[in-house]
Amino acid sequence: MVNEEKRLNNITTDMRSESILPDDIDPECRALCEALNRLPGIRTTESCCGHGESPFRIWFMADSLDALPRVAYWFDGCHSGEYDWRIIASTDCGMSPISFMAEGPVGDYAGAEIIAEKLTERVDRGLSGRRWKGGLT
């Protein structure tokens, strides 16, 4: 627990800078992918906005389960104000490491932007000396 708090207190500006995303990423996914990649221990692997026909989805990996509350908090409607978003964990037939997917309603581009803004605001404010539980206090 102490090591986690110490690690969170030592996040450098470089770790919080914008991630490098592929040029061909769906523009509707960019802000949320960048916000997720700024979280310690989280890295996005692929995304698709759904193009108005399928759910909005961003796949990501977590270095440890300890990194997940920082993600899941903002996909909960009572914290972001955006409902019907969820985090799904899965593996494949070869039992590869667990991967995660953030999924939102078809065409909810505005919701993705709002979640990205709230997440980015929290990261920009820093994790201060406390164990971060996702709140803005």
- Contact indicator for 56, 50 with CB cutoff of 8 Å: yes
The confidence score (pLDDT) of residue 128 equals 39
Grade residue 106 by pLDDT with cuts at 50, 70 and 90.
Answer: very high
Query: What does the alpha-carbon distance between residue 58 and residue 104 come to, in Å, rounded to a whole number?
Result: 9
Q: 2-6, 110-114, 131-135: lowest mean pLDDT where?
A: 2-6
Confidence check: pLDDT of 116 > 90: yes
Grade residue 13 by pLDDT with cuts at 50, 70 and 90.
Answer: very low
Among residues 49, 71, 69, 70, which one has the least CA distance to residue 58?
Answer: 49
Confidence check: pLDDT of 115 > 70: yes
Grade residue 86 by pLDDT with cuts at 50, 70 and 90.
Answer: very high
46 beta partners: 59
The confidence score (pLDDT) of residue 19 equals 61
Grade residue 127 by pLDDT with cuts at 50, 70 and 90.
Answer: low
The confidence score (pLDDT) of residue 6 equals 40
Segment 41-64, tens digit of pLDDT: 999 999 999 999 999 999 999 999
Instruction: Name the amino acid, one letter, at 47.
Output: S
- Contact indicator for 33, 21 with CB cutoff of 8 Å: yes
User: Where are the chain's structural domains?
Assistant: 25-125
**Helices 109-125 and 27-37: angle between axes, nearest 10 degrees:** 30
Mean residue pLDDT across the chain: 84
Instruction: Please compute, for residue 60, the number of CA atoms within 13 A of its CA located in the half-sphere on the CB side.
Output: 28
